A = this chain, B = another copy of it.
């Protein structure tokens, strides 16, 4: 067969030739902006000419500090299709980490949304490799700024030619990069190649995964700086789906209005978003009848929220699982055909899992000895992966790379999982959060979810506390809902649990706290909790 390089150019060209009239909707600062793939293509060409003019060369890193909007989408194509690498910057990183990743990646140019300008202005003197800045927004003129060597996106595009001869690139050419926040040490960079993104787009457009098609309207709420918004902008452009970008600083009301008014069919985000959106749905009425799939990732959804969504809008939320190192799609949870007439409870039991490993990846679960543990739905092991969109290591970090691979080259997810006889993967815990008690493994995540199903509990984290006899025992740290404050005791929590978990799993201690500390991406910071409560 023909030597042919899989490239993002192919996605861009297909969108242009096949779906020129399909709409892209972007919530801009002054209102909703609408254009189509035909116009998008021309602006991507203009942007490619701009990048050339700014001196961006093949392999250079280009930073983007931006929300989910159409300009960010243009960067998604123009930067990699010219051979450079798009470095999406997490705008929620701690300032020191933001400086670190920009300098570590050596971002030559940084594109920044106008309302995020203060963030860059505040650190500009510490950026060692950045030659210039481009401000993105829809003000008629460039906002005032203390930045030097600074341009205005719309002005640059207005002056640029609208055709560009995109180069033919080797499929292993780096296309994009993203840093993953580590609980210890600096963030670690993961590089995506043209090949990996194209293959990932295929895997995620299959019927049994994200099922993205021409007739869909996709709204990625997951940030475009978070593993390329799970690849959705690429996948959607390839199949010609209508895309909706919720823009800067949205709230639940804005999201619900967009879902309703733009007749969104597929949306994707993390549990925090779904909690926020659900609260809004109980406050006001929205017609979300167009919505057919809600994809949840980042962490597992509590059962009550999944049930609540089903009751409220008739959609069973779809779990997907992955991480920065995996582009990210690893599993996706769909019911199998013969489950169609199961009871809703049994269906939900399946839908709470992370799902089936998608086509194209190999997955195993292994014990401490490196051997496979049984695929029986009960035995826990570390999930390890191979596949064409699984990382081969961290950017300029040979030592930290070694830590995450088995001797025979499997990527260690650091997630403890079970796989059942039919291939359903369930993540039980982060390896480091697992509680190892008297030779048994206790899933902190399972315990947390059970505690969080108590009507008075807002949040709960479970950590290991050292124990002389059992090595480790679980400790629960609970945040009560405002109305239940001081009304629920530790014994109440234990009584609630005793009917629901094995005796061995019962926490030795239940502590109450006002708020669970979070990492920069909103996950429970268990390292901080362990340090605060156990000193370990």
Q: Could you list which residues of chain A lie within 8 angstroms of chain B, going by C-beta atoms?
A: 1-4, 6, 10-11, 13-14, 17-21, 172, 191-193, 195-196, 198-199, 201-203, 205-208, 211-215, 238-240, 242, 327, 334, 336-337, 340, 356-357, 359-360, 362, 375, 386-392, 409, 411, 419, 421-423
Contacts and interface: CB of A to CB of B under 8 A. Distances in A.
| 6 closest residue pairs by CB, A with B | A18-B423, A207-B213, A202-B202, A215-B337, A1-B196, A4-B388
B239 A208 contact: yes
A109 B112 CA distance: 64
B213 A206 contact: yes
Nearest to A358: B14
Contact of A388 (B1, B172, B242, B386): B1
Given A2-B388, A13-B362, A202-B206, 6 more contacts: A2-B390, A4-B387, A17-B375, A202-B360, A205-B207, A215-B336
Contacts of A13: 362
Contacts of A356: 18
Contacts of A419: 17
A397 to B, nearest CB: 15
Contacts of A386: 2, 4
Contacts of A240: 208, 336
Instruction: Point out which of A6, A206, A212 has the most chain B C-beta atoms below 10 A from its C-beta.
Output: A206
A390 B4 contact: yes
A384 to B, nearest CB: 12
A191 B1 contact: yes
Contacts of A11: 359
Contacts of A191: 1
Contact of A214 (B193, B239, B334): B334
Contact of A1 (B1, B192, B205, B215): B192
Instruction: Point out which of A1, A172, A205, A214 has the most chain B C-beta atoms below 10 A from its C-beta.
Output: A1
A202 B20 CA distance: 24
